[in-house]
Amino acid sequence: MGYQIPRQKADRLFARLKQNYTIYAPKLFAGDGCFSDTDIIRYGKITDLDEIEWNRRSDYSFKEALLAINEVLFYFTEGETTVPPCPEKKLLIFLRSCDLHAVKRLDTIYLKNGAEDFYYSRLREKARFVLMGCWETCDTGFCASMDTNRSEQYDLYLKLSGSSLWADCKSEELQPYFAEAEGTVCDVQPDSVTENKEKVTLPRKLSVESFQNPIWESYGSRCIGCGRCNFVCPTCTCFTMQDILYRDNANVGERRRVWASCQVDGYTDIAGGNSFRKKQSERLRFRVMHKIYDFEKRFGFPMCVGCGRCDAICPEYISYTNIINQLAKEET
């Protein structure tokens, strides 16, 4: 149901939500960018509507709300393991349409590829999604090409505009908060873009032969293997295990899983010295083919949601969009 809620009442509504939900949203971290005098937008816990960065796409995706960069799987002492408890509060995660489509990709890997993942599953059950609208396209995104520019799967749509909060609440669980908020019932439709600056055509005739395409070498030779493209991607889910020891007691520690990148050295190394993708071009091929071919072959829909973050973050200006378009062009 749609509502227009005056700002003061919206703040009270938000305060009530805060009591029962941990709220994750994109925040502006002024001066925290990789280069001097640059900002960064990434996710964090928020306590106020004004902390949310409503206008610009976040540099990093929402995924860390569900998959922590470092996640403790268990603590160990000499003979025992202890699993950390799941946070009690439910999660309210603010995200845009492309990212909401990415949730389906995370679910696919963590809930449907083999047995359900204990840690993801217990957090995912608690997660509710708040759609943020896009009224103009971001620079590198191509959601319209990937058909991810609209989403109906939200629990709540929110927009802060003028002196009002506009909401469309689809979730029964959240409905009471809005019923109490004394807003005006009205029709609210999420803002969405229908066209982007970047337009992408997915190649549709990829095959095993595509692995031999010289395109991988021509783009991959510029890659420095920093892995940023993986870390900003809302659909990259890989991790590596890491055991940490506490300095004050070497028999006590924790096993974590930490985000991993298929572009970074070590990703395919096995004990004894073998590794399987030594060249950067092979790693680039692996990533791109996963996003637009392998995942779809296994699960029936492309992995990439067209958020465009990988193109924006690449320090070598390697354009994933150009690679895809060139592959598609070669097919015609």
Partner 1 sequence: MKNEYIPFPSQVREIIRHTDIEYTFRMSFSGSVKPGQFFEVSIPKYGEAPISVSGIGAGTVDLTIRRVGKVTAQIFERYEGSVLPMRGPYGNGFDIENYKGKELVVIAGGTGLSPVKGVVDYFCEHPEEAVSTTLIAGFKSPQDILFRQDFERWESALQVIKTVDSAPEGYRGLTGMVTKYIPDLPIVDVSNTDFITVGPPAMIRFTIMEILKRGVPEQNIWISHERKMCCGLGKCGHCKMNDTYVCLDGPVFNYAESKHLID
**Are 283 and 262 within 8 A, CB to CB?**
yes
Please name the residue ranges forming H helices in the chain: 7-20, 97-107, 118-124, 143-146, 175-179, 215-220, 228-232, 280-289, 295-299, 309-313, 320-331
Give the per-residue contact string, 119-158, with partner 1 (x = CB under 8 A; - = no).
x-xx------------------------------------
Question: How far apart are the C-alpha atoms of 38 and 30, rounded to whole Å?
Answer: 7
Give the residue, chosen from 110, 154, 219, 320, that forms a contact with partner 1 under the rule CB under 8 A: 110
Total number of residues binding partner 1 (CB under 8 A)?
52
Give the per-residue contact string, 227-256, with partner 1 (x = CB under 8 A; - = no).
----------xxxxxxx-x----xx-x-x-
Question: How far apart are the C-alpha atoms of 262 and 265, rounded to whole Å?
Answer: 8
Single-letter amino acid code for the residue at 327:
L
Beta bridge partners of 127: 91
87 binds partner 1 (CB under 8 A): no
Question: How far apart are the C-alpha atoms of 88 and 20, rounded to whole Å?
Answer: 9
Give the per-residue contact string, 176-215, with partner 1 (x = CB under 8 A; - = no).
--------------------------------x--x----
Give the residue, chosen from 11, 64, 107, 113, that forms a contact with partner 1 under the rule CB under 8 A: 113
282 binds partner 1 (CB under 8 A): yes
| Minimum separation from the CB atom of position 230 to partner 1 (A) | 10
Beta bridge partners of 243: 255
Question: How far apart are the C-alpha atoms of 148 and 63, rounded to whole Å?
Answer: 17
Question: How far apart are the C-alpha atoms of 140 and 153, rounded to whole Å?
Answer: 24
116 binds partner 1 (CB under 8 A): yes
| Minimum separation from the CB atom of position 173 to partner 1 (A) | 22
Residues near partner 1 (CB under 8 A): 73-74, 76, 81, 83, 109-110, 113-119, 121-122, 208, 211, 237-243, 245, 250-251, 253, 255, 257, 260, 262, 267-274, 276-277, 282, 286, 289-290, 293-295, 297-298
